[in-house]
Structure formats: structure tokens, C-alpha cells
Structure 1
Amino acid sequence: MTNQLHGRDEKPISSNPSIDELLGSVGFIERKGNVGVLLIHGLTGTPTEMKQFGKLIARKGFTVACPELAGHCATIEALSATKWHDWYISIEKAFDALKQECDHVFVAGLSMGALIALLLAAKRGNQVAGVILLSTTFFYDGWNVPKFKQTFLLPLVLYTPLKYFFHWEETSPYGIKDERTRALVHAILENRDNQAADKIGYFKTPATVILESVRMIDAAKKVLKNVIVPTLIVHATEDDMASIRNAHYTQANISSKTVETFFVDDTYHVLTLDKRKDDVAKRAAQFCKEQAHILTSNNKVSLAA
């Protein structure tokens, strides 16, 4: 995407960019080892929602990076100017850049970011060391999504000219069960903080953007069978936006021989910010450590043969 899309002045990106060039103003990287973990924030979210999660994983000896998705962390207009493929390309470029400095790279995505992780794994195969899927969203069917919206209103708006006039505004609990964290989010929204897009993302999502997410869902469904890498599926049993059905659907349709699940209670959709965030990060780091050890052992066997 062009620099104008982000709504701010940026240095031009080289033809073979480093991961640092691709992070954006809100993205981050922590270099702690030769195994990388690429984090993908959710639709309308920001790298901020992944930062504490990423720091916890980095402490276990991983290099952790989280770039901005195209069109995010700026304005609604910038987001509306993007398509789902632009979001995907943001991550594919970051993956290639992180591979330049890491022996192996895992990919971990939250919500719609999990779909991007699946799309990347389906396309790049064993180049991806493994995927960690947090709150995967194929179906908007959580307990806080009214049935009327799921079955009638959403299709009516998305597939008619109404999509150019409607937006959805996220309401409490904002995917967060922890009351203190939820209160912080609510305070930012109440104050109409001008920097809210950088801090917590957009809470008004144009229908045209939701339509792009639906198109990405369809694209991901078509290639699930091509996902063959080790996979960790993490989902909240009380997810308010995407029920645990999403986790079961993913597990049933990918072709990975190694599939692990971690179903978490006492938390909602945004696993990286909620009550069990430390447990989720610990489990993700454990998965990466185990799978990286297997890859390293296999490489040694191949060299010795």
C-alpha cells in the first residue's frame, strides 16, 4: 500500500525491506533469540493489543515482532481504502523479513489475525514453523452477537448498497472480561481520545470493512486443507464474539498432523489482554519451544545422514 494510505509521513520502504522497516509507528520487535514469532493483531485492532503477550513470549528467548496491518493505526478512511489482501500482504512481507534473521518463524494471530496466519501457512507450507490461533473467527456467533444481527441484519447490510452507509460500533464488554482493563478501554472511548486508533484501534467498523473480513473468511475456508504445519488452537470457552465452534471447525478442517488445543475459561475474546493472558502466553511459548526443538533435531539428523 502507498504511504498516503497510512495517513502520515513515512520513510519509503526498500525493495527488500528489513522487519524494522515494516513495523509501522505502532508495531514493535524484541530480539531475544534465533527463533522468531510473528504476531498478527485483529481487524480494527493495533499491535498494542499484542504487546504484553509478545513481551512474555520474548522473555522465553524468542525474537517477537508485530507489524501494523495495512490501513490500521491511522484513520477510518485509511482502513476503508484497504482490501483483505492488503492486510495479508502486510504479514507476508513481515514474515519474509523476519525469516532473514531467524532460523525458524512461528506465526500467531488474534481473531481475524488468526485467519491471516492460516492463509500464510496454507500458502507457504513448511516455511512456517507453526501457527498459534487465538480466538479464530470464522463465524460471528459469540454470546454478545445478537441472533438478529447474525442471521438477518448483517447479510442485509453487507450485500446491498446499505453497506456504504452503515457501521458497527463495538460495545461493552469489548471482548474483555477483566473489569479493570475494560474500564481503561471504556475511559479512552468516553474521552474520545484523538490517539485512540493508535492505542486500542477502531471501535466503529464500516460495513465495507466487515464485508472484506467476510471475503477473507471465505478465502481462508477454501485453503484450510492446505495447512499442514504444527498448530496450537487457543479459544475462550466464554468468547463473546466467536464461539468455541470456531476452534472445533478449524481443528476439523486443517491437515496438520500436530494439532494442540488450549481452551481457556474466565476470559473473553481478546485473549492477549484479558484475565488469562499470562497463561495463554506461557502456553504459546511452550508450543514454540517444543516445535522449534523438534525442527532443530530433525535438521541435525538430516545433516548427519
Structure 2
Amino acid sequence: MIQNAEFILPGNRTGVLLIHGLTGTPNEMRIVGRGLNRAGFTVYAMQLAGHCGDEADLNKTTWQDWYKSVEEAAFKLQEQVDHIFVAGLSMGALLSLKLAAEHPEFVKGVGVYGVTFNYDGWSMPLWAKHFFFLLTWLKRFNLFQKTSFLEQPPYGLKDERIRATVAESMASGDSTQAGLAGNPFPALAEMQKLAAIVRKELPKVHSPCLILHSSHDDIADINTNAKVVESNVSAPTKFVPLDDSYHMITIDRQRRQVIEESIDFFEKIVASYALDSNRQQR
């Protein structure tokens, strides 16, 4: 049964939409959300369709369902603020970029956290690195659709204390806390489809992008994921490699740097809009 784990933190007239990753939960965006809210932003950590339930719930959805839930959340936030930024972790970063590509009229900037086009980090098994592209074909022919890729330590976390807490939460079966322990093949296939589409749409992204990615990402290598964004978007970018975290940068050792970089990046964009407005009024 799907539970509602999203949260809204009221603030000023600048909003930040936060998007979690595949099989994840809004909880993985909570620390960043609180940090942004303390800086004054209105924060909405939305919940992707099919998430915060069990694998069967997730497998009933497609990437189109996930993206539709992102759009709906953005429109909901838009009613409360004047400016919208969007930031996502892993697959959430893909969805953030897609929202920016399709809605340049209101997305003022993008936080690209640990973006994942390819599962090719150092902890991924060789078969996953080279054969995940076959998942879409397996789904098309209804093969191995009850199989899951089970996550293994370090679970995207360099901080051992947080890693132990997350592992305990995943084992408890409460998917609202740390998400599912496994990545079902059907859902991974949908993410592969989404990644291919977003890669093609990157030139349509004209909103400034803050790209934060671990140099030691265990899930998604920085060179074949984050740098793809930096090289292909049609927007100014700020690229920040993190050297003391793994994939889950929103909750790992450098989470405070993620918050500080995001606040600085978003505030500068808001200030530039305010300056342009003042000039037009003169």
C-alpha cells in the first residue's frame, strides 16, 4: 500500500521542488529541504508516482507516470510562489532536467544532484554496467519481470553511521523511510527509457544548472553522467565535484555543502531577476 511521504515547508515567494530517486522516498531530500527552508525558500519535496509502497506498486507505473507527478507537483508549487527552482537526486535529477527542458517559462534553475544516465559506478557489478541496456528488451518481451537488482553496501553512502541507519530502514520494510531494498527490473527498464529521452533533450535546457556529483560515486560515474549534462545543456552551469561522498550526496558526508552551494546558486539567480525588474521600472 502506497503511503504519502511528501512534505511542504512554507517560506518566501521563491520555491524549490525536490525530487527523490528511483525506489527512493522524499525523506532522502529532507535534510536539503530543511536547509533550503532555513534560508527562506518554500520547499516542496514531492513523491513520485508508484513510490513509497511495495515493488508491485512501483511496477504498475511508467516513466510517464513519474514525470506527470513531477509536473503536477510543479504546478501545485507554482500557485504559492513567484519563482520555481527544481532539484533532484539520481533519477530525480533526470526528471528535474526534463521539467526544465519542457517548462523553461517557469523553471529558473536546476539542482542536478548525482544525475544517473548510466549505472556504471565503481560498486556496480560488471554485468550491470554492460547489460542494463537490455532491460528495456526484457520488459518488451515480458522476461524476468519479477526479478530485482538488490542494493548492496555501501548503498551510495560513505558515512558508515548513516549507511547503517539506511540499511536498517530498508530491512524494516517501511519504504517511506529509506525506499525499497531492491530495484525491480521493470522499473529499471523505465528509467533506462527516461534516461535516453532526457539525454536527447539536454540541449533544450536553458535554465542555469548547478551540477553536484561525487568524484567517487559508487553508482554513477561522474565522467559519464554529470559531465554529460555539463557538456550538452544550453545554459550556464556550475560544476562542483564532491570528494568525500558517494552517490547519495543529499544525506552523505557533504550534505551541508550541497545545501550551501544550492542556496548560493538559487539566491544569485533570484537576485539577478530582481535587478532586471528594477532596471525595467526605471
Normalising by structure 1, what TM-score? 0.88
| 1:75 CA drift (Å) | 1.7
After superposition, residues 70-219 of structure 1 pair within 5 angstroms as: 70-152=49-131, 154-160=132-138, 161-189=142-170, 192-195=171-174, 197-219=175-197
**How far does the alpha carbon of each residue in 1:198-235 deviate from its partner, in whole angstroms, 9 at most, with x for none?**
10001211101100000000110111100001110000
Cα distance change of structure 1 residues 269 and 90 upon mapping to structure 2, 3 Å threshold:
same
Equivalent residues of 1:157, 1:163 under 8 A apart: no
Structure 2, unpaired ranges of 5+: none
In structure 2, distance between residues paired with 1:124 and 1:172: 37
Equivalent residues of 1:126, 1:229 under 8 A apart: no
- Between 27-36 and 107-116, report the one with greater CA deviation: 27-36
Equivalent in the alignment of 1:15: none
In structure 2, distance between residues paired with 1:226 and 1:157: 27
Q: 1:226 and 2:207 equivalent?
A: no
AA paired with 1:217? A
Give the fraction of aligned pairs with identical amino acids, expressed as a percent: 37
Q: 1:260 and 2:238 equivalent?
A: yes
Kindly tell me the number of residue pairs found equivalent between the two proteins.
278
In structure 2, distance between residues paired with 1:253 and 1:155: 21
In structure 2, distance between residues paired with 1:260 and 1:278: 17
In structure 2, distance between residues paired with 1:71 and 1:223: 24
Structure 1, unpaired ranges of 5+: 1-6, 9-23
Equivalent in the alignment of 1:287: 265
AA paired with 2:48? L
SS of match in other structure, 1:263: strand
Equivalent in the alignment of 1:37: 16
SS of match in other structure, 1:117: helix
In structure 2, distance between residues paired with 1:109 and 1:137: 11
After superposition, residues 236-275 of structure 1 pair within 5 angstroms as: 236-245=214-223, 246-256=225-235, 258-275=236-253
Cα distance change of structure 1 residues 155 and 130 upon mapping to structure 2, 3 Å threshold:
closer
| 1:186 CA drift (Å) | 2.0
Question: What's the C-alpha RMSD, in Å, of the aligned pairs?
Answer: 1.4
SS of match in other structure, 1:294: helix
| 1:76 CA drift (Å) | 1.2
Cα distance change of structure 1 residues 125 and 75 upon mapping to structure 2, 3 Å threshold:
same
Equivalent residues of 1:126, 1:228 under 8 A apart: no
SS of match in other structure, 2:88: strand
Equivalent in the alignment of 2:39: 60
AA paired with 2:94? L
